[in-house]
Amino acid sequence: MNQSGFRIAVFLSGAAGLLLQTLWVRLLGFIFGNTTIAVSLVLASFFFGMALGSRFFGKRADVSPSPFRFYSRLELGIGFTAAIAWFALRALEPVYVWFYRYSDGNLASTRIVQLVLTFAVLSIPTILMGATLPAMVRCVMGDERAIATSVGRIYALNAIGAAAGLVAGAFLLIEILGLSGCYALAISLNVAAAILAAISRGTPVAPNPASTEETQERPVSRWLYALAFVTGMLGIGYEVLWIRLWSFVSLHSVDNPIGRAPAEMSSTYVFSFIVLLVVAGIAIGGALVKYVRRPERSHLEDLAIVQAALGTWGLVTVIVEPLLFFDHLQSKLIEVTLLVLPMSILMGIGFPLLAAEFVKRTEGSGERFGRFYSVNTLGSCIGPVAAGLVLLPLRGTYASLTLFAVANLVIAAILIAAVRTPAGVLRTAIFGAVVLLAALVAPFPTMTRFTAPDAPKVIFEEDNSVAHTLVLDSGKRSRWLVVNNHMVSGLDPQHAFGRASIQIPTALLGRAPKDILVLCVGTGGSWAGTLRYDANVVAVDINPAVFRALPLLHPPDRYRLMTAPNRTPVVGDARNFLLLDGRKYDVINIDPAPPITQPGMVNLHTVEFYRLAKARLKPGGVLIQRFSGEPDSEAFYPELLKSIADVFPEVTVWSFLRTGLDVIASDRPLATFHTDPALIEPVIATYAPRAFVFGRQEVDRYVQGVDSITDDRPVLEYNIFSRFRDGRFDEVRERNLQRLRALRKPFSDSIRIAE
């Protein structure tokens, strides 16, 4: 077989690599949580392993008698070690929990352990992944006059495979095969790539002696390593900021009531679409190198043009995007494509141009490219941290994008100086650092601005590493908490819903709770509802801005009581808290923010999550979970209820608001409602019968024939197939609501009121 088999192997390798990366992040999220810090540590470990592999295996590719066989062994090794990693990931959880409790929950040491455990499991497969690209480059290295073209071609082919893996995984495979099925498929792709590479053949091209002699006299300048690092950091940093901009912040462009953006705007498919644009653009750029490359210009001159274009288009994006207003998802995706794809293409062009400055000749090409790629990948390790954990909380999305664009322009200036006046590189770099510092501290207008006469007033805004958070004041004591442009809830002066969501479960519990856990704080209604009881209360939310907004949503006297010593706020992932926290509770209150189809939210609705919650309840303790009345929730009511019913023997369904469901579950019968004023206010006790929907028998009838939501089958997040198949958000949603109404039972038929 000629090199056509090798090209297919490169394509399959890209698809398998991105599939495995996606699955590793998701699987580790079950253990470490879905906080930005935890995800960044996982990505940093992934990229660090790749950097090590490219650095130390590049030379092995050069000395191998058959580069194709060497590359084949790498792919086979990835498949084998990835299979071992699947089982090793299962063993991480008890080790992680033991260390957390042994260290008394020390945050710094916990982060270090997360990084160490992740690298311990993923080190070998990621190191082998990092080694594959230098090996690929060595296999195709030929004419030294077209190094950038050769690198661009193989880089593009690998990126096209990654794009295909992303599309197949996010839009098809995870929903159909589940996480475990996708993982097995990714390993199979690595094995197939190994077989194709092993039977491929190439025709090495002898190096040009004159060129070899010339390049031996010109070692790579140290500042080029810094450039490789910075460009890697900017590339992945842009991706982080783009996802934030078009999945959360930029939803103001949709023609809908404030805080009522369509659920699909922040779905995993929008995330995946943005990543697809980045990967596809890189592939297109790599293929275009041979058309934009000019013999009369050096690689650095071409790279300077690319960096200048990146910076210019980046500034255009920041200026133009807030002015664009579209009224539906399709036009919004067109906007994303027009603004992101050109920059991604430029990145794809720039990568092989810079690589060519390191790989100047055929001899030693694997080692030289490996050095470049390792430094570039180390920059990718820092990118998520710099963008997501530093710049976003410090300056916000638009200001961070502006800073990155200015950095591209500074790089262009340095490259021009390096070509024309090499002695001026240091001077230009110093001047550029001053410009970057000025851009970092320069004042920037607030992101959210409403101009209509009756528009609400923004009294709080924070764009941190987790979410974009607003508190809006519409006057007449009406205030609203908006997270990622989705209305969480409004300020209720009597916090009636919060009181009901605590007191009705307590009335079924039959005793005054001593320990209460509130997961997903929101506006703090349920947290305030715990004030009736002399209990130890722990309130957990992943978004720190929620806690900072509470003083604006509650009267000072109530807020003071909510933050008393026996009421503890915790910033963290709700599921991760249940995993790590060993305490037992009388009542666990869960109210996930809408939409429940946004990435990561499914982790709070699976069978595995409810098993964790059940393990944290005292005997006879009760759990209450809110399912919102949003269309995306209503479409999955049977699956949501089935997941709870699979874990808890006793389940009752209520509706405390005009829409939505409130599910109360326990391991003991929920058949007696205690009206003792010490447990429940008379007004709430009077309201309870009207809020009752049905009990366990009706639940079993309602969920008949549907599958539970599990970690392996996250249908809340991955459901595009079912949307097209049965119109889930139309006919199925309406059918679910009709069946709810048909099965509704009188309160007295299921629950006895204690005298």
The pTM for the full model equals: 0.88
Identify the DSSP state of 555: -
As a dihedral over the C-alpha atoms of residue 65, residue 68, residue 70, residue 73, rounded to 10 degrees, the angle is -150
Contacts of 371 by beta carbon, 8 Å cutoff, 6+ apart = 54, 55, 58, 220, 225, 358
Task: Name, in order, each residue with C-beta under 8 angstroms of 210's C-beta and a sequence gap of 6 or more.
Answer: none
Q: Return the closest-CA partner of residue 190 out of 77, 316, 325, 322.
A: 77
pLDDT of residue 359: 75
For residue 399, give every residue at least 6 positions away whose Cβ sits within 8 Å of its Cβ, in sequence order, or none: 391, 442, 444
Please count the other Cβ atoms lying within 10 Å of the Cβ belonging to residue 205: 12
What pLDDT does residue 731 have? Answer: 82
DSSP state of 105: T
Q: Report the 10 Å Cβ neighbour count for 115.
A: 18
Query: Looking at residue 146, what is its pLDDT?
Result: 56
Kindly report, residue by residue over 340-354, the tens digit of the pLDDT. 999 999 999 998 888
Low-confidence residues in the chain, pLDDT < 50: 1, 204-217, 253-254
How many other CB atoms are there within 10 angstroms of residue 79's CB atom?
22
Question: How far is the C-alpha of 708 from the C-alpha of 715, rounded, in Å?
Answer: 9
What are the Cα distances from residue 272, in Å, to 379, 484, 510?
22, 17, 47
Q: Is the dihedral of CA 414, 418, 423, 426 positive or negative?
A: positive
pLDDT of residue 208: 43
Contact 581, 98 (CB under 8 A): no
Pairing of strands 661-666, 617-627: antiparallel
Cα dihedral sign for 715, 719, 721, 725? Answer: positive
Return the pLDDT at 210.
42
- Rounded to 5 degrees, what are φ and ψ at 617? -95, 140
For 370-385, the DSSP string reads HHHHHHHHHHHHHHHI
Q: What is the pLDDT of residue 215?
A: 43
Which residues, 6 or more positions from 701, have their beta carbon under 8 angstroms from its beta carbon?
743
CA geometry: angle 567, 570, 576, nearest 5 deg: 130
Which pLDDT does position 642 carry in this prediction?
Answer: 96
The CATH number assigned to the domain with range 494-754 reads 3.40.50.150
Q: Are strands 486-490 and 478-483 parallel, antiparallel or unpaired?
A: antiparallel
At 431 the pLDDT is 83
Give Cβ neighbours of residue 598 (< 8 Å, ≥ 6 apart).
263, 266, 267, 268, 484, 717
Pairing of β 672-674 and β 752-754: parallel
Name the fold adopted by 3-207+221-441.
Growth Hormone; Chain: A; (1.20.1250)
Give the pLDDT confidence score for residue 614 in this predicted structure.
Answer: 97
User: What residue spans in the chain does CATH classification 3.40.50.150 cover?
Assistant: 494-754
The whole-angstrom distance between residue 145's C-alpha and the CA centroid of its chain comes to 41
Domain with CATH 1.20.1250.20 in the chain: 3-207+221-441
Any bridge partners for residue 654, and if so which? 662, 692
Kindly state the DSSP code that residue 171 receives in the 8-state scheme.
Answer: I
